[in-house]
């Protein structure tokens, strides 16, 4: 049996994680979620990894949770569900994640894409939270992250009807940052990841934290965190190198210090 997650790299600072359950449209089993969480845990402490690209295949990024596995869990099983630990590990990953989405990103697949910092979507991509049609609701951040991404009205329509949106509407709503032809989605996501990975690691890490604060806290708290992080970076070698490289009109050589 093939492994449900293919790990490539890092190359040019980018680690690529490819969901590999094509027979199930990359449905997210506990095993697959654990593999993603473990790969990210290793990448978090690997200085060779500056960013991660997360992708599926041309047919689907991930078409949701594994329904058969879900049906086997009753109330107690859900309360003790190990998947929550894996979701939290993905959410806590300190380096940028760029999702390259072709085809379906539904249910848990949409939630997984929303754990990324940047989503690049093919013009064939479709995003949705269809759980309501199974008599349930999103359970891995779908209601919370979707509201923050597209606003209450569209999020409510998607969650309460189970209807998906296409890539064009996802772009207009702010869920994704770019649309590409399907054959270029991974290439574009990788190019963005390489650009991110070439920046000063400490600045990238603190910038990601500051951006997250915008959705988690009030404006005043977010501004205080931003200013604190900005001040901390003034004491780094990479900040001095960045300024020197600007004056010298050369590429900066960041060391993560």
Q: Which residues are known catalytic residues?
A: 65, 108, 111, 131
Q: Dihedral angle at the C-alpha atoms of 178, 54, 122, 163, nearest 10 degrees?
A: -100
Q: How far apart are CA 164 and CA 141, in angstroms?
A: 17
Q: Name the pairing type of β-strands 126-128 and 97-101.
A: unpaired
Contacts for 173 with CB less than 8 Å, ≥ 6 apart: 149, 150, 151, 154, 165
For 89, residues 6+ apart whose C-beta sits below 8 A from its C-beta are 37, 40, 41
| C-alpha angle 252-254-255 in degrees, rounded to nearest 5 | 155
């Amino acid at each position: 049996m093939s492994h449900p997650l293919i790990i490539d790299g890092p190359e040019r600072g980018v680690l690529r994680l490819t969901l590999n359950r094509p027979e199930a449209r990359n449905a997210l089993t506990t095993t697959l979620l654990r593999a993603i969480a473990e790969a990210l845990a290793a990448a978090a402490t690997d200085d060779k990894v500056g960013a991660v690209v997360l992708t599926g295949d041309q047919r689907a990024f991930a078409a949701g949770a594994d329904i058969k596995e879900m049906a086997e869990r009753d109330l107690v099983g859900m309360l003790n569900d190990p998947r929550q630990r894996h979701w939290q590990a993905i959410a806590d990953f300190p380096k940028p994640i760029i999702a390259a989405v072709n085809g379906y990103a539904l249910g848990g697949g949409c939630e997984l894409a929303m754990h990324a910092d940047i989503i690049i979507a093919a013009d064939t991509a479709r995003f949705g939270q269809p759980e309501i049609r199974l008599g349930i609701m999103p359970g891995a951040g779908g209601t919370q992250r979707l509201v923050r991404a597209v606003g209450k009205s569209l999020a409510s329509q998607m969650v309460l009807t189970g209807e998906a949106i296409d890539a064009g509407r996802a772009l207009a709503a702010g869920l994704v940052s770019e649309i590409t032809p399907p054959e270029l989605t991974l290439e574009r996501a990788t190019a963005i990841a390489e650009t991110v990975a070439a920046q000063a690691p400490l600045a990238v890490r603190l910038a990601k934290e500051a951006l997250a604060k915008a959705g988690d806290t009030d404006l005043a708290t977010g501004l205080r965190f931003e200013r604190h992080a900005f001040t901390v970076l003034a004491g780094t070698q990479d900040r001095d190198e960045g300024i020197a490289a600007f004056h010298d009109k050369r590429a900066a050589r960041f060391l993560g210090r």
